[in-house]
Amino acid sequence: MSVEPLVTPEWLNERLGDPSVLPVDVRWYLTEPGRGRSDYDAGHIAGAPFMDLDADLAAPRGQGPGRHPLPTPEQFAAAASRAGIGPDTHVVAYDSSGGAYAARLWWLLRYFGHEQVSLLDGGWPAWQAAGFPTETAAPAIAPAEFVAVPHPGRVVDAEQVDRLRRDPRALVRDARATERYEGQVEPIDPQAGHIPGARSAPFAGNLSADGTFKSADELRDRYLALGADAADPIVCYCGSGVTAAHDVFALHLAGRTDALLYEGSWSDWSSDPSRPVATGPGEP
């Protein structure tokens, strides 16, 4: 069963009693460990389990490239099972950051073969503003059977990115904020700057002022202007492979459903002093 990649709070509210539809809370904050869980405990969408980005949506650091390596099939299947995600579950992922972190769950589910997943447009703020049901107690979730079948063709590593950044047919996009791309600041990774040849596409540019996604036409125009029409392939990266999924999602809405993710992203690239680093505005 195909599902819409983006659903509204109204759509989800009408289906809260449907056992096949499962909202999942993915709130997370880069510089505030533990805040996502405490925010969840203070209030969340009724019936939604919590999935922790560090514990459930990434392997432990050191088990792969970068700060948030992809979980193994076994690790992800266990986390999805605990959250109650079965083969027929329509997952609706949300956060409080315009989908910046919920997109990681959207991407991982699809990577592991589960296509029935959407993002909640506007996330937790839009749900609260609408006055739809919330609760503070964690719901009782019956474990489900989740079979994780990875699709490794959707991921690239540093060696592939180093080759693709030199290929005029390819497009490498950096989803981080402009000041991180330009090397003005770097709050967490070993070096400041960006991969030479990469172009800046901050994930926040996918959103309207109210935190909802821009229309498919607006996103199409944005990515056409960035060269996505003729590019083959498109690679997205960010700090650690999390918000890059937001650009992959936006490209999906815009009709480019084949964008690839650089798993380790800047945290991996910048960890090797032999790799080149660029600073400044780069190419438009």
Residue 233, phi then psi, degrees to nearest 5: -95, 180
3-state secondary structure at position 237: strand
In angstroms, what is the C-alpha Rg of the chain?
A: 18
Counting every residue written for the chain, the total comes to 284
Place of tokens 């880069």: 30
The Cα 90–Cα 93 span in angstroms is 10
Q: Which amino acid is at 85?
A: I
Residue 4's nearest CA partner among 207, 147, 202, 216 is 216
Three-state secondary structure readout of 31-95: CCCCHHHHHHHHCEECCCCECCHHHHCCCCCCCCCCCCCCCCHHHHHHHHHHCCCCCCCEEEEEC
The Cα 144–Cα 187 span in angstroms is 38
Residue tagged active-site, from 207, 238, 248, 253: 238
Q: How many CB atoms lie within 10 A of CB 63?
A: 12
Give the orientation angle of helix 102-111 with respect to helix 244-253, to 10 degrees: 70
236 as an active site residue: the answer is no
Residues of the chain by 3-state class (helix, strand, coil), percent to 5: 30, 15, 55
Q: Which amino acid is at 115?
A: E
Q: Any idea which residues carry the catalytic annotation? A: 238
